[in-house]
Structure 1
Amino acid sequence: MTTRPRIDDHQRRTRLAVRQLLAPAHRAATPEQVADAVVALHATDPATVFLSTAARLGPAQGPGRTAPDPVPPLERALYEDGTLVRMHGMRHTLFVVPAALAPVVQASTTSKVAERERRGFTAFAAEGGFDQDWLTDVEHEALAALDRAGEATGAQLGSLVPRMREEIAVAVGKPYQAVQTIGTRMLRVLGMEGSIIRRRPVGSWTSGQHRWATHRPYPQQPAAAAQRDLTARWLAAYGPATAEDLRWWTGWGLREVRTALTGCGAVPVDLSDGEGFALPDDLEPVPDPEPWVALLPALDPAPMGTRYRHWFLPDEHRAELFDRSGNIGPTVWWNGRIVGGWAQRADGEIAWQLLGPVDRAARDALEAEAERLRGWIGDTRVTPRFRTPLERRLSA
């Protein structure tokens, strides 16, 4: 009987440090390199994209030195060069991904969700008395108006196409009854289908109100091939990991996960939590990086890349670092383990708290990293969209 390769938790943490560009010697020079390394940057909270990138850019710098400012190059990549794209992807979540990967994400994941959104939108409109012909006509008018305008917010587009402001009541008779406009639902569907794309926000880089622009739909490809390719990318960044980790990260069904793992040639390996999978050329040990620290934002890809986190996050810390929906808040890392959390206070100070013991060298490095983070954030104030118990206490 052939013995399966075993990859221990230490090696998993080593791979995380190197491949997630968290160890100083492995940091990136550009936002595009960051996005490529982590596959997808969480974008539900706009600030996460910038904070996650800043943590991975440039060489380590000493106390009093500022981190590289990710805002100008990230905005250029997103809104001028088009090398990065903001789109709905895995688990219906908003991500920033490399433009070359966007068609893979669309085919593997987003298109199926978009079909459901389209059916729901059609049913929603029908409840308001609007049939498919009416909807199609409004969509064509909206796309033509947006094309002429170049870019527009939802409100601006509603002014150009008044029928988008038609309102329909939802959840009638229930405590959470509300009114939604045709335009709100329409823009979401068109965005998920790839007909429009989010552009520069209204306000600063922390703003979630984006302008829209028309977009050429992504080229079609078979879903199974796209799922295979995305799985290979994910394993290269987050592996080795379990099938359940992949199922959770993507939102796919178990059959899709198994087919994708087989399709990309993934090799079964033994992990501390059971059977995992790695790429066939990723079975040899990876050398340890130098000691490293990181202050990662809420929803950073490193802790959000797998469902099971015991190998870098002690269970006793979860209640402090997650909200009730399972969203992780800002975290403090030392050599591949989460050892605490951080927050920005009203005066701009970066406050952090340890949840376990670390040595003096770690504390000194964390002080320097907190100063480095504060240096580039400057006067901007960042409050996570999903507040966690420790972040709330520290920010106060």
Structure 2
Amino acid sequence: MSPSPPLITTAERRNRLGRRHRLAPSARAGTVAEAADSVVALHATDAATVFLSARARLTEGGPEAVERALYEDVGVVRLLSMRNTLFAVSAELAPYVDASTARGIALKERRTFLKHLDEDGQGLDAAWLERAETSALAVLDAQGPLTGSQLSAAVPDLRQKITIGRGKKYETHTGVATRVIRLLAADGRIRRDRPRGSWTSSQFRWVHTAPWPAVPAAEARAEIARRWLHAYGPATEADLAWWTGWTRTDVRKAVAAAGAEEVRLEGGGPALVAPGDTAPEPAPEPWAALLPALDPAGMGWADRGFHLDPAHRPALFDYAGNIGPTVWWNGEIVGGWAQRPDGEIVWRLLADYGRAAEEAVAAEASALAAWVGDTRITPRFRTPLERELVA
């Protein structure tokens, strides 16, 4: 009879999260790239999330340290990737994210756009698109970095308009500039540079860049799966499929190639960890964190039962399943926070977690307020508790 897979308790899963996501003070990262690698990728749909997620995981440094990593050192880059969503990943990992996920998205986006051009009937086709892209890159070489509107003004082809769904209820008239820029970014031929405005702005400037080195897709998926299992394991194939947007077939092949090992969950069924990653995880020192909307610690699993009381979910998620700003205590989501118009950081615990938790959260809120300074943060995806705290 074969031995039962090792058991990993809920407490150990929370301990892993504190250390591996670099949220416990003793586990903090020295660089933004290390912080991103610790969770594989930082959500970047909301510009502020990258900064606030990095801040929660760094030993030191203000917003300027994150800006330097993104726009000067370029040790961290934004890619349209998992679940067709924008993420920030380290430059070292970017070729694997590109090959495992972004390539397929780019190809699909290009097919869809060419179909829209053909249906529009103005004679715009693949040759026109190639000319528009070549012109845009030449302008960026000569004048960049440029915002999308500046690039459109400088490239006549980008000022074209097309009709999508002609004659149908959803018929829309739209410019092509945003779509062409999106294609160039998805192909890795341009990247987002410093935005106009503060670090919370999404009005990025663009620069011409070289595509990422080619990596075989299966090899890339195995590497992403291995890193994801280290950061988020124990977890299930369903969790990885949700996080990546890969097919179940690709997920199964990836975890097999990564050498994943099976474990048992406390009060649940089987799950997977990275190879050899079955030893008990001792508790780190007590820790509190105020994490932003869409932070990886809240969005890393399809099943979040080990760190989120289901009764708290309605207050902390929007209608589409996006998590808002959260308060954490020792690996568990215990409340939410918001920033009021006057800059005050306000928070609420959703149950009584004791005086130590309240004092630690208060100290973390004070540190966050000092880090943010005069900047004002409004999450792109508003949740019931965040709205209530602001009001």
Query: Which residue pairs with 1:63 in the alignment?
Result: none
TM-superposition CA deviations, 1:10-36 (whole Å, max 9, x none): 111100000001111111222122112
Query: Which residue pairs with 1:330 in the alignment?
Result: 325
**Cα shift at 1:150:** 2.7
| Equivalent residue letter for 2:114 | T
**Cα shift at 1:173:** 5.2
**Cα separation, 2, equivalents of 1:218 and 1:69:** 29
Indicate how the Cα distance of structure 1 residues 355 and 171 shifts in structure 2: closer, same or farther if over 3 A, else same: farther
**Cα separation, 2, equivalents of 1:48 and 1:365:** 22
| Equivalent residue letter for 2:78 | R
CA contact (8 A) 1:346 1:381 kept: yes
Classify the secondary structure of the residue corresponding to 2:8: coil
Query: Which residue pairs with 1:97 in the alignment?
Result: 89
**Cα separation, 2, equivalents of 1:315 and 1:209:** 36
CA contact (8 A) 2:258 2:275 kept: no
**Cα shift at 1:70:** 3.1
**Cα shift at 1:297:** 0.5
Indicate how the Cα distance of structure 1 residues 351 and 175 shifts in structure 2: closer, same or farther if over 3 A, else same: farther
TM-score normalised by length of structure 1: 0.95
Indicate how the Cα distance of structure 1 residues 69 and 176 shifts in structure 2: closer, same or farther if over 3 A, else same: farther
Q: Which range moves more in the overlay, 342-351 or 120-129?
A: 120-129
Q: Residues 100-179 of structure 1 correspond to what in structure 2 (within 5 A)? A: 100-128=92-120, 129=122, 130-172=124-166, 177-179=171-173
Q: Residues 357-368 of structure 1 correspond to what in structure 2 (within 5 A)? A: 357-368=352-363
**Cα separation, 2, equivalents of 1:55 and 1:99:** 20
Query: Which residue pairs with 2:5 in the alignment?
Result: 4
**Cα separation, 2, equivalents of 1:298 and 1:133:** 41
Classify the secondary structure of the residue corresponding to 2:108: helix
Q: Does 1:23 align with 2:18?
A: no
**Cα separation, 1, equivalents of 2:144 and 2:302:** 40
TM-superposition CA deviations, 1:290-314 (whole Å, max 9, x none): 1111110000011111111000001
**Cα shift at 1:361:** 1.0
CA contact (8 A) 2:261 2:276 kept: no
| Equivalent residue letter for 2:222 | R
TM-superposition CA deviations, 1:345-392 (whole Å, max 9, x none): 011111111111110111111111111110111111000000000000
Where structure 1 has 5 or more consecutive residues not aligned to the other structure, the ranges are 59-67
Classify the secondary structure of the residue corresponding to 1:323: coil
Where structure 2 has 5 or more consecutive residues not aligned to the other structure, the ranges are none
| Equivalent residue letter for 1:306 | W
**Cα separation, 1, equivalents of 2:169 and 2:290:** 40
**Cα separation, 1, equivalents of 2:217 and 2:291:** 33
Q: CA RMSD for the aligned pairs?
A: 1.2
| Equivalent residue letter for 1:6 | L
| Equivalent residue letter for 1:377 | V
**Cα shift at 1:180:** 1.8
Indicate how the Cα distance of structure 1 residues 175 and 318 shifts in structure 2: closer, same or farther if over 3 A, else same: farther
| Equivalent residue letter for 2:250 | E
TM-superposition CA deviations, 1:309-358 (whole Å, max 9, x none): 00000111111100011100000111111111000001111111111111
**Cα separation, 2, equivalents of 1:72 and 1:347:** 22
**Cα shift at 1:56:** 1.3
Q: Which range moves more in the overlay, 82-91 or 132-141?
A: 132-141
**Cα separation, 2, equivalents of 1:310 and 1:145:** 50
Classify the secondary structure of the residue corresponding to 2:286: coil
Q: Residues 1-396 of structure 1 correspond to what in structure 2 (within 5 A)? A: 1-2=1-2, 3-58=4-59, 68-128=60-120, 129=122, 130-172=124-166, 177-271=171-265, 272-396=267-391
TM-superposition CA deviations, 1:19-69 (whole Å, max 9, x none): 0011111112221221121110100000001111111122xxxxxxxxx44
| Equivalent residue letter for 1:325 | A
**Cα shift at 1:164:** 0.5
**Cα separation, 2, equivalents of 1:131 and 1:369:** 54
Q: Which range moves more in the overlay, 367-376 or 176-185?
A: 176-185
Classify the secondary structure of the residue corresponding to 1:249: helix
**Cα separation, 2, equivalents of 1:279 and 1:18:** 16
**Cα separation, 2, equivalents of 1:236 and 1:258:** 16
Indicate how the Cα distance of structure 1 residues 7 and 126 shifts in structure 2: closer, same or farther if over 3 A, else same: same
Classify the secondary structure of the residue corresponding to 1:197: strand
**Cα separation, 2, equivalents of 1:22 and 1:135:** 45
TM-superposition CA deviations, 1:197-224 (whole Å, max 9, x none): 1111111000011011111111112111
| Equivalent residue letter for 1:236 | H
**Cα separation, 2, equivalents of 1:338 and 1:53:** 18
**Cα separation, 1, equivalents of 2:371 and 2:133:** 42
Aligned residues: 387
**Cα separation, 2, equivalents of 1:273 and 1:192:** 39
**Cα shift at 1:393:** 0.5
**Cα shift at 1:171:** 3.8
**Cα separation, 2, equivalents of 1:325 and 1:355:** 21
**Cα separation, 1, equivalents of 2:130 and 2:96:** 27
**Cα shift at 1:190:** 1.1
TM-score normalised by length of structure 2: 0.97
**Cα shift at 1:172:** 4.2
